[in-house]
Homo-oligomer: A and B are copies of this chain.
Amino acid sequence: MACGGAACAEGAQQLGCQRRKLQPRQHLFLQGDAQSHIYLVQSGAVCLYKLMRSGRRQIVGFKLPGEFIGLGHEERLRFCAQAMGPTELRCFALQPFLAAASGDPRFLLKLYESVSHDLSRAYELVLSVGQRDAGSSVAAFLLGLEARARAQREPTDLVALPMSRGDIADYLSISFETVSRVFTSFKKRGYIALLGRRGVRLIDRDSLRTIAMSEDSGMRRAAVS
């Protein structure tokens, strides 16, 4: 599974590291910056996104507690990192971190697995953006979010949405209006319940799973009724 907070934090402990707090919407770094650190999310959530010339943005991932930011490093950072809500991080200076990793196969294996999981999620995102219609994408997103949350916290049927409708839209490459329409449709069909703006309760997981897998949410059919 994802580089578990436990195992990774263990290796991380041995490196001196600083803590850092981010306010909602505050940026950790911008694309084009030189990379100075590798970060480990402790609480809250961070999104990685690419700002396009058109002014739009593509979020390529949300980082939740226990996950690393900045692993697939290149010369210059290719993405912006922004806190979704109040967020706490650990910061590791790049050079010592990589030096420590290079000499420790067990640690390196952890990083390798962490990047592998990022890759899996990236492929999953490709499938959503490329193959699924809007409803199907959102269903898959909600189920994935729940699975990740369940792995970290005690199982609750209440899924926290650290990000806004617009953030979800920028991740799935649909408009925020469409995200909203899908939420409404799912609510009307009894699949989910919305709790304020930042919470969802998944009621009918089977239907959501079916929709997520079928690549067809039946939005239009359900809408007429």
Interface of A toward B, CB cutoff 8 Å? 50, 52-54, 56, 58, 60, 71-74, 78-79, 102-105, 108-109, 111-112, 115-116, 118-120, 122-123, 125-127, 129-131, 173, 213-216
Distance between Cα atoms of A105 and B101 in the complex (Å): 9
The reply to whether B71 and A216 form a contact with Cβ atoms under 8 Å apart is no
> How many copies make up the complex?
2
Q: List 27 A-B contacts (CB under 8 A).
A: A50-B123, A52-B131, A52-B215, A53-B213, A53-B215, A54-B214, A58-B126, A58-B127, A58-B131, A60-B123, A60-B126, A71-B116, A78-B120, A78-B123, A103-B105, A104-B105, A105-B105, A111-B112, A115-B119, A118-B119, A119-B119, A122-B122, A122-B123, A126-B126, A129-B129, A129-B130, A130-B173
Min CB distance A73 to B, Å, is 8
Q: Which residue of A78, A103, A105, A213 has the most chain B CB atoms within 10 A of its CB atom?
A: A105
Closest CB of chain B to A178's CB: distance in Å?
13
Can you list the 9 inter-chain pairs with the closest CB atoms, starting with the nearest? A130-B173, A122-B122, A72-B116, A129-B130, A129-B129, A72-B119, A108-B108, A112-B112, A119-B119
A1 to chain B: closest residue by CB: B74
Q: Specify the chain B residue showing the minimal Cβ separation from A172.
A: B130
Q: Are B53 and A214 in contact (CB under 8 A)?
A: yes
Closest B-chain residue to A116, C-beta based? B72
CA distance A193 to B183 in the complex (A): 47
Instruction: Identify 16 new A-B residue pairs, CB closer than 8 A, beyond the known A54-B131, A72-B120, A108-B112.
Output: A50-B127, A53-B213, A53-B215, A54-B216, A58-B127, A58-B130, A58-B131, A60-B123, A72-B116, A72-B119, A73-B116, A102-B109, A108-B109, A115-B116, A129-B129, A131-B173
Chain B residues with CB under 8 A of A213: 53
* Chain B, residue nearest A215 (CB): B54
Q: Which residues of B contact A50 (CB under 8 A)?
A: 123, 127
Shortest beta-carbon distance, A140 to chain B, in Å?
A: 12
The distance in angstroms between the C-alpha atoms of A109 and B54, with both chains bound, is 36
